[in-house]
Amino acid sequence: MLTARYQLLAACLAGCLLTGCGKEASKPDAAKTEAKDKDDKKDDAKKGEEPKKEGEAAEATPQVEVAPVEEAAIHKLVIADAVLFPLNQANVTPKISSPVKKVMVNRGDHVKAGQVIAELEAADLQAAVAEARGQNEQAQAGYQNVSGATVFEDRTRAQADVNSAKQALDAAKKVYENRVTLAKEGALAQKLVDDAKVTMVQAQSQYDTAQRHLQSVQQVSEKQTLAASKAAANAAKAHYDTAVANLSYAKITSPISGVVADRPVYPGEMPPSGMPIVSIVDISSVVARANVPVKDAAAIHLGSPATIEGPGGELEGRVVVVSPSVDANSTTVQVWVQAANKGEMMKPGATVRVEITSQTVKKATVVPKAALLNHDEGGEKVLVVANGAVQERKVEVGIREPEKVQILKGVKPGEQVVVSGGLGLEDKAKVEVKKGDDNKKDDKKEDKDEKK
């Protein structure tokens, strides 16, 4: 009996000892779990994932960039590709066929109008000039002789013949009259009267002939002789002038001021007929020829301001030609833009882009192009910021430029429109406007990212 009691007491003591040891063993495990939780919180803090506080908003307010609606001038631009041409060009061709003696210019040289650029062989032409000069001098001397001496002598001789015939006629009349009187008195035979009458008639005939000759000399012969002599003199002078002109053609001059673009011949060569020996272009100004759609060309007028952009830079110019007809193949209108080519930066033949101002609105309501968004119902819209929220407004767009657009209806000058961060925002959504410094920081960050 006593032994059983001792056994029961020993069992109770053993149970109590086991229970105390279990509690002490669980304490180190709890400490380890708490330390692990603290380490996880520290890691979350490092990563920026702080635990949300009670009552904090679920999402941050979106930030946007804005720009003011302005009243400014805006231009309607017609943009097209074009090809450059020189202001003027000349392919200099010899007027005579002769070997090249000398060429005074090379490609790239600047020349002036009237400057001698080449010379041809001209020995035979010089001889022809000398011959023509002698013939001209001879013809001129012959004309002077006819007009001053021969004609006068013919006229004088004819007048003398008339005077002589008149005197003979008067004498014959007196003899006839005297013999008629004597015959009536019976003192003279009738035969002598008849002889006197015949002599008078002959004298009258000679007188008439002399008068007609004088009239012929004065009216016909003199004029024809002078005309023939003068014609011969003029022909000789024309032949001489032709020879002098042919000799002058041996020296080839530039018809325009410009730059030598090509020089295909060399001394000693015989250029084929019609072949240019020097090509000259005037690039002090250039002309850009563009093919513009008909609907755009309708608003372009002579004198409209324009710019030419190409490899050599940008030039300011004006429209000088608007073709009156449409090209049937391309259904376009050719427009020429002329601009001063300072420093000869632009080269003919290059492909350039022209921007022609076809219309200008001085006081237009404009917004940055980035402010335009597509509307759900079609068309375009902008987001106007007012009282910390955006207002969605459908707009009617007019003239468009690369950086700004004209708004015909929908906004007023002075209002603020979203230009960045507006995509996906709904009407009346709350927004926060970025300040200027924040915008600059974002821009710098974007620049760094692009450089990377």
Domain membership of residue 109 (yes or no) is: no
Distance CA 399, CA 369 (A): 11
Distance CA 449, CA 451 (A): 5
Distance CA 143, CA 86 (A): 54
Closest C-alpha among 379, 371, 378, 347 to residue 425: 371
What is the percentage of the chain residues whose pLDDT exceeds 90?
Answer: 33
The total of other beta-carbon atoms located within 10 Å of residue 333's CB is 21
Domain membership of residue 21 (yes or no) is: no
205 and 288 inside one domain: no
| 8-state DSSP, 430 | B
288 and 426 inside one domain: yes
Q: What does the pLDDT read at residue 25? A: 41
243 and 298 inside one domain: no
Residue position matching structure tokens 């949300």: 52
Sheet holding 100-103, edge to edge: 100-103, 116-120, 251-253
Give the CA dihedral 64, 68, 69, 75, nearest 10 degrees: -100
Q: What does the pLDDT read at residue 41? A: 47
154 and 234 inside one domain: yes
Closest C-alpha among 73, 69, 72, 70 to residue 305: 73
- Give mean pLDDT, residues 433-449: 54
Which amino acid is residue 265, in one-letter code? Answer: V
181 and 308 inside one domain: no
Beta bridge partners of 86: 286
- Give mean pLDDT, residues 250-254: 93
- Give mean pLDDT, residues 155-162: 78
Domain membership of residue 144 (yes or no) is: yes
- Give mean pLDDT, residues 195-215: 83
**Would you say residue 20 has pLDDT above 90?**
no
Final residue of a structural domain among 248, 267, 293: 248
- Give mean pLDDT, residues 206-228: 73
- Give mean pLDDT, residues 115-143: 89
379 and 419 inside one domain: yes
Give yes or no for a contact between 177 and 160, defined as CB atoms under 8 angstroms apart: no
Domain membership of residue 63 (yes or no) is: no
The total of other beta-carbon atoms located within 10 Å of residue 158's CB is 21
**Would you say residue 18 has pLDDT above 70?**
no
Domain membership of residue 184 (yes or no) is: yes
Name the band, by pLDDT with cuts 50, 70 and 90, for residue 158.
confident
pLDDT digits (tens, 9 = 90+) for 373-432: 988 888 899 999 988 898 888 999 988 888 889 899 989 998 999 998 888 888 888 888
292 and 436 inside one domain: yes
349 and 206 inside one domain: no
Centroid of chain to Cα 179? 105
How many domains does the chain fold into?
2
**Would you say residue 35 has pLDDT above 80?**
no
Q: What does the pLDDT read at residue 424? A: 83
291 and 418 inside one domain: yes
Final residue of a structural domain among 228, 248, 268: 248
Domain membership of residue 342 (yes or no) is: yes
Average pLDDT taken over every residue of the chain: 81
358 and 441 inside one domain: yes
222 and 289 inside one domain: no
Tokens of 193: 């009267």
CATH of the domain at 380: 2.40.30.170
Q: What does the pLDDT read at residue 149? A: 52
pLDDT digits (tens, 9 = 90+) for 65-101: 999 999 988 888 899 999 999 999 999 999 988 899 9
Give the CA dihedral 296, 299, 302, 304, nearest 10 degrees: -90
pLDDT digits (tens, 9 = 90+) for 45-68: 444 444 444 444 446 788 889 999
**Sheet strands (E) in 99-174:** 100-103, 110-111, 116-120
Distance CA 151, CA 148 (A): 7
Name the band, by pLDDT with cuts 50, 70 and 90, for residue 445.
very low
Domain membership of residue 194 (yes or no) is: yes
Name the band, by pLDDT with cuts 50, 70 and 90, for residue 444.
very low
Distance CA 292, CA 296 (A): 7
Distance CA 419, CA 430 (A): 16
Closest C-alpha among 424, 417, 433 to residue 371: 417
294 and 414 inside one domain: yes
Domain membership of residue 288 (yes or no) is: yes
Q: What does the pLDDT read at residue 349? A: 92
- Give mean pLDDT, residues 178-205: 81
**Sheet strands (E) in 330-388:** 332-340, 351-368, 373-374, 380-386
Which structural domain, as residue segments, surrounds residue 404? Answer: 280-451
